[in-house]
Amino acid sequence: MTFKQFGIDISKYQGEINLTALKSQIDFAIIRGGYTGYGAGTPTVDEQFERNYKLCEVLSIPKGYYYLSIASNDAMVEAEYQFILKQLEGKTFDYPIIIDIENCANAPYKHAQAWLSLSKAERTRLMDILMTKLEAQGLYVMFYCNYEYATQKLDFDTLKKHDFWYARYVDVQPTVPKTPNLWQYKSNGRLTGYNSNLDFNYAFVDYPTLIKKLGFNGYGVEEEEVDYKALYQEALKENELLEKTTKYQQEKLAKIAEEIKDLANIMESDNK
């Protein structure tokens, strides 16, 4: 059976949204963490981020994160990168960490104009740098864009190595320029408990299982407990059964047994 879950994305524009009322109707929520301020050109916290994050935690709603970037130079990329890392510190996310790439609402501001004036190659280069730096910090990263950006304003071949959240309001899951794993298919959806439009999304990948298993987004890989004493006894037993093996094999196994014995002693000492 094909995996498919339904979710919404939320920011300050939904105000103090009643997630308690929506919990039974959604499988996940993608939360906006922040955006680059259009006036000053500096990273800014979405005023509902902490509230939305805490509510998802309390209500056990799987959550993702997105940040609206308008980094038009390398210094702005670094500022956004540092801001995102600080904002994610101490938090866990079940869905990807997403860089939102789209037109800026307040185009008259100089930083928005600089972003809009970038060439396709330069815009792509900057976004690739930002996502690659975040991935290097153990984050599962994807990018968001619409059809115009995917086909005209980004070099999609360069960015397709990153996962993809696609805003494409059509009836059937799109396949051009790439079939998305996360699809925003509607911007005027309605749910009981919220009296306005919401973005509707489908996820076609079991991100919570994938991200936790691989230790991304603040989860970390759970270390397997090892019974070194049992391993040592097993090694000794195997050594007794290998009397007919070559001297080299016996010496090698004996060395392994001694190494395991040393580890067992260390573990026992640490536990006292």
Output the tens digit of pLDDT for each of the chain's 272 residues. 489 999 999 999 999 999 999 999 999 999 999 999 877 789 999 999 999 999 999 999 999 999 999 999 999 999 999 999 999 999 999 999 999 999 887 777 888 889 999 999 999 999 999 999 999 999 999 999 999 999 999 999 999 999 999 999 999 999 999 999 999 999 999 999 999 999 999 999 999 999 998 899 999 865 555 555 565 556 555 554 444 444 555 565 566 666 666 665 655 555 55
Contacts of residue 197, defined as CB under 8 A and 6 or more positions apart, other chains included, come to 187, 188, 189, 190
**pLDDT score for 243:** 45
The listed CATH number (3.30.70.1450, 3.40.50.2300, 3.20.20.80, 3.40.50.1460) that belongs to domain 5-214: 3.20.20.80
Return phi, psi of residue 87, to 5°: -70, -30
Q: Which amino acid is at 235?
A: A
Q: Of 234, 235, 264, 267, which is closest to residue 250 (Cα–Cα)?
A: 235
For the chain, domain boundaries? 5-214, 228-270
Closest C-alpha to 48, from 11, 7, 87: 11
Which residues lie closer than 8 Å to 234 by C-beta, 6 or more apart? Answer: none
| pLDDT for 241 | 47
Task: Dig out the tokens for 202 from the structure.
Answer: 């489908």
Give the residue among 25, 130, 15, 19 at the shortest CA–CA distance from 72. Answer: 130
Nearest-CA neighbor of 47 among 80, 11, 79, 82? 11
